[in-house]
Amino acid sequence: MSDEAIVKIPGTTFSFKFGIEGKNYAVYLVQGAHAISSKKLNILKGTTLRDLPEEAENGLRFLLDSEEVYISPVVVDRVVTDLMEQIPKDGQIFVKETTIKPDIETSVRVLDLIEQSDHRAGKKSMEEYTPGEKPKFDASASDIGMKKSLKTPKPLPKRSAVTGQDYPKPAISAKDDYLALEEKLNSLTNEVQSLQETIAKNKKAITSMKKQITTLKKSSKELKESSK
């Protein structure tokens, strides 16, 4: 057997590969020239492969589900069968461990990114300028935040010793006071006038009701006397 047992999965861009992962056998989902995911099998390396077909089928389904790829059960059986044909039932199996290639690099140096950005922008650091050349700006990562002097903030107004206030309040002019008082006076005058009008109307109503009562009493008295 060769170092690789691999089968193309029809209708997809993936291949199905048999290999090892640590102390166990494993299956891999391969795209292009690289394995993108793996599933460790419950079979120790060098032991019997009696359960390999079932383990490989379960591993293939798991890998396809993880990539949200769905194919016919008939195709799954065919792929597993083709893979099993490449693995001898008897004798020792020689396979090399497969490395999963990550989609992106796991670590990136910040200074490298800054230097790449500076290079793309055509910037130069102070050290790259000749003595006769006047630099426009310094873009070296090691100098960022070290040579830039901050502006001194303006001091806040001092607290007034007399009033105890941090900030002086704008003075209100005598004219403003007069206008405010006049407006208040007008409002109160209107309210008083309205109350007086209401009282006058009530007085008229009371007087009218008293006259009606007097008239009713008189009429009642006359009726009483005529009925005797």
DSSP 46-72: TS--TTHHHHHHHHHHHHHHHTT----
Count the Cβ atoms, other than its own, within 10 Å of residue 80: 23
Residue 107 has pLDDT above 50, yes or no: no
Task: Dig out the tokens for 63 from the structure.
Answer: 């890998």
Percent of the chain with pLDDT over 70: 61
When mean pLDDT is compared across 56-70, 89-103, 176-190, the lowest value belongs to: 89-103
- Bridge partners of 14, per DSSP, are 31
Residues 96 and 18: their CA atoms lie apart, in Å, by 10
Using one digit for the tens of pLDDT, what is the confidence trace for 145-157? 445 555 666 666 6
- 3-state class of 142 per DSSP? helix
Give 125's pLDDT tier (boundaries 50, 70, 90): very low
pTM of the predicted model, to two decimals? 0.41
Q: What angle do CA 107, 108, 110 make, to 5 degrees?
A: 140
Provide the pLDDT for residue 82: 94
Res. 99 pLDDT band, cuts 50 70 90 = low
Give the pLDDT confidence of 187-210 residue by residue, as tens digits.
888 888 888 888 888 888 888 888
| pLDDT reported for residue 60 | 94
Burial class (CB in 10 A: 0-12, 13-18, 19+), 106: exposed
